[in-house]
A and B are shown apart, each in its own frame.
Chain A
Amino acid sequence: MFHKILIANRGEIAVRIIRACRELGIKTVAVYSEADREALHTQLADESICIGPAPSKDSYLNMEQIISATVITKADAIHPGFGFLSENAKFAAMCEKCNIKFIGPSSEVIGRMGNKSEARKTMQAAGIPVVPGSEEPVLLAEEAKKLADSIGYPVIVKASSGGGGKGMRIVEKEEDFLSCFHTAQQESVNAFGDNAMYLEKYIIAPRHIEFQILADKYGSVIHLGERDCSIQRRCQKMIEESPSSVIDEDLRKRMGSAAVLAAKAAGYESAGTVEFLLDKSGEFYFMEMNTRIQVEHPVTEMVSGLDLVKEQIRIAQGETLSYRQEDIRLSGHAMECRINAENPAKNFMPCPGTVKRFHIPGGNGVRIDTAVYQDYEIPPYYDSMILKVIVHDKTRTEAIRKMETALGEIIIDGVDTNLDFLYEIISHEKFIAGDISTHFIQDYFAM
């Protein structure tokens, strides 16, 4: 049983975790940067400790400071949230050495799943379908091209240590390959100092389907169904929902078993997500495993009735899973929209500033996760996501209508947001028809 947990994060997820800890009777320590003295998580936690200047690298990414803060406040565990240090194997290893429980899988599993080619190998060995592509990182353009030719175009070139679309290129034609490879590699070298690249078959207009899993340290693994996160802009998710309109009971069962198998193959413990690409013919391919709680976890909470953060903490305490797969009942339809402080008209430029007027909706089946309050000043140093609205209803149609109502009631005055943009998406006839793919935004909202 944990006595006190330090939350190595900020914003709405830190608040979300503080609430879960309270409900479990665990004390909380918030860490904050100099820019976050007035932040909600700083004020809500039982204790708060400043860990450095505003830039993330000096505060929320400063491992030394966070470990020291944990030791000083005598917390027994660290919840990393998402982003920042949540998938940092080195940080997890430091926690292990310092006798601090890192709430998540072991450093070794994080390391293995964080390395794309190793994750792929693990999954292949377990018999889980993966997208055809390079087995080993490729460094030389000529070598890569040979491989691309054999996979068949279009192919996608990705940086081995990449993320967020950096060091990534889609190559439509053979003759474009070399120049695309070089630019992607250069980007990777600039951003991550790594020239290791890999390539895979580019699947046309796939859906991004991910399965939430829970695994305890004793090897039991269950899944909590899928989330359809196909509405993305430049690989950043905007809207997530569960269930997916294209997944029937049979496919759910098959993909769910694959996700459970993936977690077992990885030796996984804690809450995690297995991401798949689903093509038009219903074939699915393992994409990657996220070894942390995810932004969109409330969607699954709404349909399953579970509290994933609390489950995560219980697992970290060494408890066995309190559910078997057959206990899981998924009901209704849930949907999440991510509200960002950004200006869609200015190429989604982040828009920090003071929130002058603030109103949030409520009512049956409407959940708001946020760390914003009236007169809060959104600092410019961090992610622009400021609020998540999650709705739950019996059917997808009702959920969409509920979301429309909720979005319509949100007032955030003082900073630009993507509220209207989200409103347009969910009112789009293709979206209402459930006819979506990861290309939805670029196909219908090209700017």
Chain B
Amino acid sequence: MTFKDMFKKTTYISVEEETEQDRGSGDGQEPAVPEGMWQKCPGCGELVYSEDLEENLSVCPKCGYHVRIGARERIEMVLDPDTFVEWDTGIENGDPLGFHGYEDKVKQLQRMTGLDEAVITGTGKIGRRDVVIGVCDTAFLMGSMGHVVGEKITRAVERATKQKKPVILFSCSGGARMQEGIVSLMQMAKTSAALKKHSDAGLLYISVLTDPTTGGVTASFAMLGDIILAEPGALIGFAGPRVIKQTIGQDLPEGFQRSEFLLEHGLIDNVVTRQNLKRILARLLRLHTRTKQTPELYAKVMDELEEYKNRQLWESPDEFFLHNEESEMIPAGSAEEGKQRLKNDLQNYSAWDRVQISRRAERPTAVDYMKRLFTHFYELHGDRAFRDDRSIVGGVAMFGHQPVTVIGQQKGHNTKENIMRNFGMPYPEGYRKALRLMKEAEKFKRPIICFVDTPGAFCGIEAEERGQGEAIARNLAEMSAITVPILTIMIGEGGSGGALAMAVSNEVWMMENATYTVLSPEGFASILWKDSKRADEAATVMKMTASDLRRLGIIETIVPEKEPITQETMEDAAMFIKEKLLSFLQDYMIKKEDDIVELRYHRFRDF
């Protein structure tokens, strides 16, 4: 029911009928929306209040889309206030091709944008640490790299090398600048060469990829970071999607060449939102700062660990939140049940008992140990070639004041986690990621701590296609020569070559109920006795328990498991490892690089 025509109203006005006269004075005081008060989000297409967008670091509050920002804004967001000093402005621009209108275009852009070229370089501080920074700006000819851009980046990197400072470059670029022809191609080589020298000097380079990073920039400085981060949803690739589509005549998959795609394909270390970027850069700088290790500093480690305990210092939300959430999904009581089951046969475990205990889902995983031993963890992903293998978790962390690299073979506590972790069975790309992280540790003189917990390297077609054997072999050879101390702790199953590929270490320790074998007892029984049911017998014969292996000199230390070990009861074991680890580091960190390598060589030479 409507009263529309029944009420006696004084006036009826519709929008159309209204004329300017009705408004009285036309004094410019009419309501009007000022230009730019709202803008359309390129991500969700919704109107966004510009002030909200600005306050939110130009990230759409409705959909999280990271709107492109200028170089100056970026510098303000990332550097500590008032620390930026700009370098190398006013470099004369060449026009090698004599390209019609190019010089005028550059001059016009300089006027319009207030930028002198498509990159700003200089120095400043992040979290009070000195950095050399370069930031591209798409407002200037799509951030393309010609002579001046290449020159500014090269000079900045050279100066960083001389001053022994880390470099952080924010890329966003269409690639090489066409208007400068072959000269811009040369910038790719020039910048890369400067970064190689910087890297050889043992210095840190963090590359941050923002939307869009393509062409000659991707194929040069953008992809050379020790650590490569990317903003969510950024387009990153060598050939642009349109070109690829035209060339191959196929539709491209959803999310192709976006940051998340690169992460999955192992090409970048992580995707970082703009809100978290500064904090994470500051943490990475800290994790890559070398402190001279002294006995006095080590004396403080336990206190430092105590101080940081229980603080939320884990920095790998996607991995660890998932991990936590899912752990909570285990029905209550299952941990309790597990404990009970284990308690029943706590005494006099046979080798076969221990095999079964080592495989229990309740056992702490690599990440459970990492969380209790280290602080400030930041996960790094990918092998930079094919894929990020989630059965291996690795990253940088602190042990007290000592930066360390930690790498672990990760099983799940339940089926869902296990599917994501491939039941702790690494692919070749997992081993390649581990090796990449070890090489990084070597460059920055960080000790390496590995956790081994695998039924074995993954057995499958893809693994063979990508060279499972080669990947393991490569690790054995390369690990033998790494110049920083390596410690491996066997926490569950130590399945053959898949375990050894992370255990060519200065010392190998084992949890009391972990195992380490050339083959599963089931496999052993089936090969030698043609009867896999005789696995329990095989377990005894094979000498795979911690005490057997110590007698054989395969391992150095057994970590006691006083009670059935679970996430809840692992505190004592973690404390035992902490103390032992401290003395291991005290012992090894004062050794010469050659000695560290030599000791490791002999450890294996003697078998």
Contact = CB atoms under 8 A, between A and B. Distances in A.
B607 interface: no
Contact of A100 (B3, B4, B31): B31
Interface in A36-73: 38, 40, 43-44, 46-47, 49, 63-64, 67-68, 70-73
B49 A75 contact: no
A90 B49 contact: yes
A27 B23 CA distance: 12
A99 B13 CA distance: 22
A359 interface: no
A3 B23 contact: yes
Contact of A74 (B18, B37, B52): B18
Nearest to A67: B33
B32 interface: yes
A44 B4 CA distance: 8
A68 B1 contact: no
Interface in B49-65: 49, 51-52
Contacts of A71: 31-33
Given A27-B11, A72-B15, A43 B24 contact: no
A74 B30 CA distance: 7
B45 to A, nearest CB: 13
B294 interface: no
B23 A74 contact: yes
A98 B38 CA distance: 12
B47 interface: yes
Interface in B17-31: 18, 22-24, 29-31
Contacts of A375: 1
Contacts of B37: 94, 97-98
A76 interface: yes
B97 to A, nearest CB: 48
A233 interface: no
A3 B15 CA distance: 14
Given A74-B18, A97-B37, A98-B37, A46 B12 contact: yes
A44 B34 CA distance: 31
Contacts of B47: 64
Nearest to B2: A38
Interface of B is mostly: loop
B9 interface: yes
Contacts of B22: 3, 74
A70 to B, nearest CB: 6
A90 B7 CA distance: 36
B13 A27 contact: yes
**Residue of A44, A71, A74, A90 with highest tally of chain B CB at under 10 A:** A74
Contacts of B32: 71, 98-99
A68 B7 CA distance: 28
A43 B37 CA distance: 32
A94 B49 contact: yes
A428 interface: no
Given A64-B38, A71-B31, A47 B1 contact: no
Given A46-B11, A375-B1, A98 B33 contact: yes
Contact of B3 (A64, A74, A75, A373): A373
Given A63-B49, A64-B38, A98-B32, A22 B10 contact: yes
Interface string A97-118: 1111000000000000000000
A78 to B, nearest CB: 9
Given A38-B2, A373-B3, A76 B49 contact: no
Contacts of B24: 3
B14 interface: yes
Nearest to B38: A64
Given A38-B1, A97-B37, A47 B15 contact: yes
A73 B49 contact: no
Nearest to B31: A100
A376 B254 CA distance: 49
A75 B23 CA distance: 9
Contacts of A73: 15, 18
Nearest to A70: B31
B44 to A, nearest CB: 14
A43 B3 contact: yes
A27 B13 CA distance: 9
A67 B4 CA distance: 25
B33 A43 contact: no
10 contacts: A43-B2, A49-B15, A64-B47, A64-B49, A71-B31, A71-B32, A73-B15, A73-B18, A99-B29, A100-B31
Interface of B: 1-4, 7, 9-15, 18, 22-24, 29-34, 37-38, 47, 49, 51-52
Given A46-B9, A71-B32, 11 more contacts: A22-B10, A38-B1, A38-B2, A44-B9, A64-B38, A73-B18, A94-B37, A94-B49, A98-B32, A98-B37, A375-B1
Which 3 pairs across A and B sit closest by C-beta, in order of nearness?
A: A100-B31, A375-B1, A64-B47
